[in-house]
Amino acid sequence: MELYSGQSCWIDTLPVPPAFPALDQDISCDVAIIGAGSTGALCAYELIRHGLDVIVVDKRKAASGSSCVNTGLVQYINDKPLSACIHSFGTEQAVRFYSLCREAVSELQSICSNIEGADFVRKDSLYVASHPEDAAALKEESAIITGYGFDAEYWDERTTASQFAFGKAALYSRGDAELNPYRFVNGLLAAIGRQGGRIYEHTEVKRHTTSPDSITLYTDKWKIQAQYVVFASGYETQERMANPNAVLSSTFAIATQPLDSFPDWPHRCLIWETARPYMYIRTTADNRIIAGGFDERTNIADERNRMLPHKASMLLEKLHEMFPRLPELRASYSWAAAFGNTHDGLPMIGLHPSSPRCFLALGYGGNGTVYSKIAASILSGLIVNGGHPDAQLFRVDRPSRTLSPAYRINDCRG
């Protein structure tokens, strides 16, 4: 699968990433993880902490798939509002889901404190009403979120206008973050290597077989024998193990030239909107603006690539509309990428229903990095302890709950 095209801004922030060998012999381990992106790295990091012998393999260079085009927004509020989650899953599970996301942000901060250059910075978020008629729903959502102890508040048009160049109703929340996803994953993989984990890039697993007490993975020349395998291969997992709950689409992003200042943008907070498909924006450590979104319901690479120039122009135009006092902007980088979501809005985490000893860690959705951290915690519980109290919510074979059209299309915010 062609995961992306164009050029991401992140790769230039780490010109010489860590290098890992290709597999050159038969090996064995406790857990083999397929995928050396953010999900695979976080799962490996967590399992090694529990004393397991872990290897990570990737058919590409490590961290060169979707992780290098992730826009690095780390948020606990989801594309599917808490009110919609309550309707779908019930109050207890919905609030637990949002609580897990909030906890994951703090856990990522702790991990990043030991990774040089991850550029993890706590940020507030502004969730903007794209249309006046969206204000009432945001106000209701604010009451629900704050009622369950999340730090957010409703801003009317006048309040927003007193802070920003635009006057639209919004939900202002605290407790989110941003990071450099490429440096984060590469730094995490380097840490895994120092802790005894083995990482092999340019090593493609072609097939696997299972026995009552082990699983064997086969490359073209070599085999890996493990007690368990974790498929953390992102959207390409659908080519091997398709799930009807998954929806693949395309998303688009740009990064501007570095700017000297950001007028009418307090604290350079994260900004996204209620429109579907929507736009979201953040800034970077080297003072660029990243804008993304305007997703399309296609996963055909040629179609996505043809759309990229027009989508980049749309993103620039929207930035000027929101912040008219910014200087003339140009897209120094632009890229288009595959993006995965689920019909019910939750990631898919857990044992594959028809493949014994195979676990899936699929952080599909707009909060992908957050979901990857949740997956790492749940899978370590399932593998090390035989269970986890939150595993049922995310199980791979759960009944699919179809979303209303307003929540079908997302982007790769994080």
Read out DSSP for 229-244? EEE--GGGHHHHS--T
The pairing of beta strand 331-342 with beta strand 121-128: unpaired
**Residue type, position 332, single letter:** S
354: confidence class by pLDDT, cuts 50, 70, 90: confident
138 is written with which tokens? Answer: 């945001």
- Tens of pLDDT along 373-403? 999 999 999 999 999 999 999 999 987 654 4
Q: CA 225 to CA 17: how far, in whole Å?
A: 28
pLDDT of res. 1: 85
Instruction: List pLDDT tens digits, range 278-313.
Output: 999 999 999 999 999 999 999 999 999 999 999 999
Query: pLDDT tens across 90-136, in order?
Result: 999 999 999 999 999 999 999 999 998 999 999 999 999 999 999 99
DSSP letter assigned to residue 163: T
pLDDT tens string 22-60: 999 999 999 999 999 999 999 999 999 999 999 999 999
Q: Tell me the pTM.
A: 0.95
* Contact (Cβ atoms closer than 8 angstroms) between residue 67 and residue 37: yes
204: helix, coil or strand?
coil
What does the alpha-carbon distance between residue 144 and residue 44 come to, in Å, rounded to a whole number?
36
Q: Specify the pairing of strand 246-256 against strand 331-342.
A: antiparallel
Question: Parallel, antiparallel, or unpaired: how do β-strands 214-218 and 207-211 relate?
Answer: antiparallel
